[in-house]
């Protein structure tokens, strides 16, 4: 059960995608989210698909991890697909079931929207799967650096994020431990009527909150004890290096964008 | 209930890049009423092993028999809950499992889950709170107002309230002060004898192992490296050294005593009291 949660689930590797500068990956993901909306016909969607799939292939992340990341939103994708199929009335009528009419435009729209969602989720999970949380944070902090001038607490934001990311596995581990302890006392989490199952969450959540607060206090204390005083003048031990391969990624992205603009209808 | 473990293997995150062998080729049989101590370095698979004994983890290969219950890889044991009623587990830092508003409610959580009547469960809570060394007035208090040591005692009472016939203790005294440590261990030992429990203790303390166990199992890299009675295990000083484990202080003392007086003492002396007695009688002999 715990294995399905993909956030912060970094899969170590040495592929091209793994070795990219996190800033390059972050920017690419951000730009990809925008150019996904350029696609509006079969050929442009095929291009996006080719880009996404080759990114996954190059990263050598087992397909299972990508699928696990998709699982939670699969239902939403299916739902949007059918909403479009049944509600969009464009193009020639494909068939008529009496109570429901399906048009070609509807099917097309359904497929397009589902693909759009699929590609978005795949690319964003690829980012978290190939980049350590720490790298993402450092990347974000440098990318957002210029906004400090406008009073944006960039450092604090990055720190919060790295702490949150850092503690996801810890909390999951803790959850598993408490679940086991309560299961040993006869609690049942995965069977029985819904009402009972909801009630069984209390013995899990209360200890989890107690320990999370305690952890937070301990962490704050430990940081202060080691002289942490916020971001002012603080340098990072991780220096990001922008290399040719990172620029290459933008060439790919540029080519993709131009192709999309030229081929869209 | 006798416990028989055959060729047990456990892989964590099987089939992913994170796959890791936690246990392999573990064969172990534990007779009813035994006090068994499992010793091993961190990461040697002790905790993984004990979690198999009440079905919290399933073997990836091999089998476990506990009385009439059979746990096998790939097969579902449908009576897991029933099994858990018989096998009580005090986890590491059990105070982390407390959640109820009052201590009484927390202690009766286990028994109620296993179908004990509320009246009976409350009766047990009242007995147990005294047994673990707290008094009656605690029952109505919140478990979160207590000190760490007191929370530990309440959590232990919560496991004992299930009246298990097999009691598994995973470093139950970690982080306690020496006095609390001794009190808690003495409590478990008394229960072990009075109730005829099968007790499985996981510990780093050679002294506890020497003092209480009938049998000792030493785990190393996910498998059983050495097992036997305390006498067999502790007299094999070379094997212990090879596993970079300490010999109990009492045994070390006896060894030096033997060297100094150029004699051999009966090799069944492990507890502090016995050691003192042996030393005293040796000194008396010297005098006379």
By C-alpha distance, which of A236, A58, A15 is closest to A140? A236
Cβ–Cβ gap B159/A185 under 8 Å: yes
Residues of A in contact with B99 (CB under 8 A): 202-207
pLDDT tier at A10, thresholds 50, 70, 90: confident
Judging contacts by C-beta atoms under 8 Å, the chain B residues touching residue A188 are 81, 113
**In B176-246, which ranges are E strands?**
198-203, 215-220, 223-228
Give the pLDDT confidence score for residue A215 in this predicted structure. 92
For residue A2, name the pLDDT band (cuts at 50, 70, 90).
very low
Asked casually if ipTM beats, i.e. exceeds, 0.90, the reply is no
What is the pLDDT, as a whole number, of residue B268? 66
A78-82, A230-234, B252-256: range with lowest mean pLDDT: A230-234
Residue B115 above 50 pLDDT? yes
For A186, which of B16, B85, B99 is closest by C-beta distance? B85
Chain A, nearest residue to B51 by Cα: A180
Percent of chain A with pLDDT over 70: 96
When pLDDT is averaged across residues A221-234 and rounded to a whole number, the result is: 85
Starting at the edge strand found earlier in the chain, the sheet holding B61-66 runs B20-30, B3-12, B61-66, B69-72
The whole-number pLDDT of residue B137 equals: 92
Taking the CA of residue B128 and the nearest CA in chain A, the distance in Å comes to 16
Res. B153 pLDDT band, cuts 50 70 90: very high
Q: How far B250 CA sits from the closest chain A CA (Å)?
A: 35
Which residue does chain B place closest to A64, by CA atoms?
A: B16
Q: What is the Cα–Cα distance from B87 to B50, expressed in whole angstroms? A: 10
| Cβ neighbours for B57, distance < 8 A, ≥ 6 positions apart | B10, B48, B51
DSSP chain A: -GGG--TT------SHHHHS-HHHHHHHHHHHHHHGGG--SHHHHHHHHHHHHHHHHHHT--HHHHHHHHHHHHHHHHHHHHHHHHH---SSEEEE-SS-EEEHHHHHHHHHHHHHHHHHHHHHHHHHHHS-HHHHHHHHHHHHGGGGGGT--HHHHHHHHHHHHHHHHHHHHHHHHHHHHHHHTT--SSSS-HHHHHHTTHHHHHHHHHHHHHHHHHHHHHHHHTT---STTPPPS------HHHHHHHHHHHHHHHHHHHH--
Q: Please, which pLDDT band fits residue A1 given cuts at 50, 70 and 90? A: very low
* Confidence at A27, pLDDT banded by 50, 70, 90: very high
pLDDT of residue B269: 66
DSSP category for residue B95: G
Which residues lie closer than 8 Å to A259 by C-beta, 6 or more apart?
Answer: A44, A47
Chain A residues touching B158 at Cβ < 8 A: 185
In the predicted structure, residue B88 carries a pLDDT above the cut 90: yes
B170-174 mean pLDDT: 92
Distance CA B19, CA B16 (A): 5
Contact state of A207 with B162 under an 8 Å Cβ cutoff:
no
Q: Is the pLDDT of residue B93 over 70?
A: yes
Q: Are B222 and B45 in contact (CB under 8 A)?
A: yes
Asked whether the beta carbons of residue A203 and residue B114 sit closer than 8 angstroms, the reply is no
| Residue B38 CA neighbour count, 13 Å, CB half | 28
Residues of B in contact with A64 (CB under 8 A): 16
Contact of A206 with chain B, judged by CB distance below 8 Å, is answered with yes
Pick from B35, B67, B60, B33: nearest CA to B45: B60
- How many angstroms away from the CA of A200 is the closest CA of chain B? 11
Mean pLDDT on B25-49: 92
CB pair distance less than 8 Å for A181 and B89: yes
The tokens describing B268, both together, are 């069944």
Could you give the CA distance from residue B10 to residue B224 in angstroms, rounded to a whole number? Answer: 14
Residue B274 pLDDT more than 90? no
Give the nearest chain B residue to A189 (CA atoms): B81
**Facing A207 at nearest CB: one of B16, B99, B162:** B99
DSSP code per residue over A189-202: SSSS-HHHHHHTTH
Average pLDDT estimate for B257-276: 77
Q: Average of pLDDT values for B277-282?
A: 84
**Helix, strand, or coil (residue B104):** helix
A67-81, A142-156, B108-122, B246-260: the lowest-pLDDT one: B246-260
Which of the residue ranges B10-19, B163-172, B194-203 would you say has the lowest mean pLDDT?
Answer: B10-19
What distance in Å separates the CA atoms of residue B89 and residue A184, rounded to the nearest whole number?
A: 6
pLDDT higher for B267 or A93?
A: A93
pLDDT band at A257; cut points 50, 70, 90: very high
**Closest residue of chain A to B18, computed from CA coordinates:** A11
Q: Give the separation between CA B206 and CA B240, rounded to whole angstroms.
A: 11
For A166, the token pair is 């850092």
Residues of chain B in contact with residue A210, where contact means CB-CB under 8 angstroms, are 96, 144
Candidate from B17, B56, B144 with C-beta closest to A184: B56
Q: What is the DSSP string of B120-140?
A: HHHHHHHHHHHHTT--GGGGG
pLDDT band of A3, cuts 50, 70, 90: very low
The residue of A5, A8, A65, A184 whose CB has the most chain B CBs within 10 angstroms, and thus the best one to mutate to test that interface, is: A184
**Average model confidence (pLDDT) across chain A:** 86
Average pLDDT, chain B: 89
The pLDDT of residue A4 is 44
Please count the residue pairs, one from chain A and one from chain B, whose beta carbons lie less than 8 angstroms apart: 65
pLDDT tens column, A102-137 = 888 888 888 999 999 999 999 988 998 898 878 888
**Averaged pLDDT, B38-46:** 90
Q: Do B109 and A185 touch (CB under 8 A)?
A: yes
Residue B28 has pLDDT above 70, yes or no: yes
Chain A within 8 Å of B84 (Cβ-Cβ)? yes
What confidence category does residue B243 fall into, taking pLDDT thresholds of 50, 70 and 90? confident
The 10 Å Cβ neighbour count of residue B256 is: 10
pLDDT band at residue B267 under the 50/70/90 scheme: low
Tell me if residue B220 falls in helix, strand or coil.
strand
- Segment A247-260 shows an average pLDDT of 92
Closest-CA residue of B relative to A206 is B99
Integer Cα distance of B126 and A29 in angstroms: 60
Is residue B107 within 8 A of residue B123, CB to CB? The reply is: no
Question: Quick one: angle between helices A202-225 and A154-184, nearest 10?
Answer: 140
Question: Between residues B140 and A96, which one has the greater pLDDT?
Answer: B140
DSSP B66: E
The answer to whether residue B159 neighbours chain A at the CB level (below 8 Å) is yes
pLDDT > 90: percent of chain A: 35
């Amino acid at each position: 059960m715990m294995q399905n949660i993909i956030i912060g689930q970094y899969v170590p590797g040495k592929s091209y995608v793994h070795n990219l500068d996190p800033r390059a990956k972050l920017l690419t993901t951000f730009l990809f989210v925008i150019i996904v909306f350029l696609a509006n016909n079969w050929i442009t969607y095929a291009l996006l698909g080719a880009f996404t799939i080759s990114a996954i292939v190059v990263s050598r992340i087992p397909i299972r991890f990508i699928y696990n990341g998709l699982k939670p939103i699969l239902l939403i994708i299916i739902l949007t697909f059918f909403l479009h199929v049944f509600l969009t009335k464009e193009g020639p009528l494909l068939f008529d079931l009496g109570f429901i009419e399906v048009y070609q435009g509807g099917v097309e729209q359904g497929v397009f929207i589902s693909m759009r969602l699929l590609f978005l989720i795949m690319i964003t999970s690829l980012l978290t799967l190939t980049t350590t949380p720490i790298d993402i944070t450092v990347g974000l902090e440098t990318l957002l650096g210029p906004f400090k001038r406008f009073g944006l607490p960039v450092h604090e934001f990055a720190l919060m994020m790295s702490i949150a990311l850092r503690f996801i596995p810890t909390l999951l581990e803790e959850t598993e431990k408490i679940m086991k302890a309560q299961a040993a006392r006869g609690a049942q989490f995965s069977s029985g009527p819904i009402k009972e199952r909801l009630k069984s969450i209390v013995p899990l959540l209360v200890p989890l909150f107690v320990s999370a607060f305690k952890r937070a206090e301990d962490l704050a204390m430990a940081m202060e004890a080691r002289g942490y005083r916020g971001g002012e003048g603080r340098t990072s031990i991780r220096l990001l290096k922008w290399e040719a391969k990172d620029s290459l990624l933008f060439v790919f992205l540029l080519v993709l964008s131009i192709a999309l603009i030229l081929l869209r209808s | 209930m006798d416990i028989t473990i055959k060729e047990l293997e456990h892989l964590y995150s099987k089939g992913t890049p994170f796959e890791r062998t936690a246990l392999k080729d573990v064969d172990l049989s534990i007779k009813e009423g035994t006090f068994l101590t499992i010793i091993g370095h961190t990461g040697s698979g002790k905790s993984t092993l004990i979690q198999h004994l009440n079905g919290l983890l399933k073997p990836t290969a091999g089998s476990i028999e506990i009385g009439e219950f059979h746990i096998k890889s790939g097969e579902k044991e449908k009576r897991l809950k029933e099994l858990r009623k018989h096998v009580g587990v005090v986890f590491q830092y059990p105070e982390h499992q407390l959640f109820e508003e009052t201590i009484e409610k927390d202690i009766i959580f286990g028994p109620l889950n296993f179908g004990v009547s509320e009246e009976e469960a409350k009766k047990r809570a009242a007995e147990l709170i005294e047994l673990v060394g707290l008094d009656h007035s605690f029952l109505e208090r919140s478990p979160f107002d207590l000190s760490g040591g007191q929370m530990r005692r309440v959590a232990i009472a919560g496991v004992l309230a299930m009246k298990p016939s097999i009691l598994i203790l995973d470093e139950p005294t970690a982080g306690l002060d020496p006095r609390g440590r001794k009190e808690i261990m003495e409590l478990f030992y008394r229960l072990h004898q009075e109730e005829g429990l099968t007790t499985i203790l996981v510990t780093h303390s050679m002294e506890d192992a020497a003092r209480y166990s009938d049998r000792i199992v030493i785990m190393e890299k996910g498998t059983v490296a050495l097992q036997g009675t305390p006498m067999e295990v502790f007299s094999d000083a070379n094997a212990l050294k090879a596993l970079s484990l300490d010999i109990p202080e009492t045994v070390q003392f006896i060894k030096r005593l033997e060297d100094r007086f150029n004699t051999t003492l009966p090799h069944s002396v492990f507890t502090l009291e016995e050691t003192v007695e042996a030393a005293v009688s040796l000194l008396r002999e010297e005098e006379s």
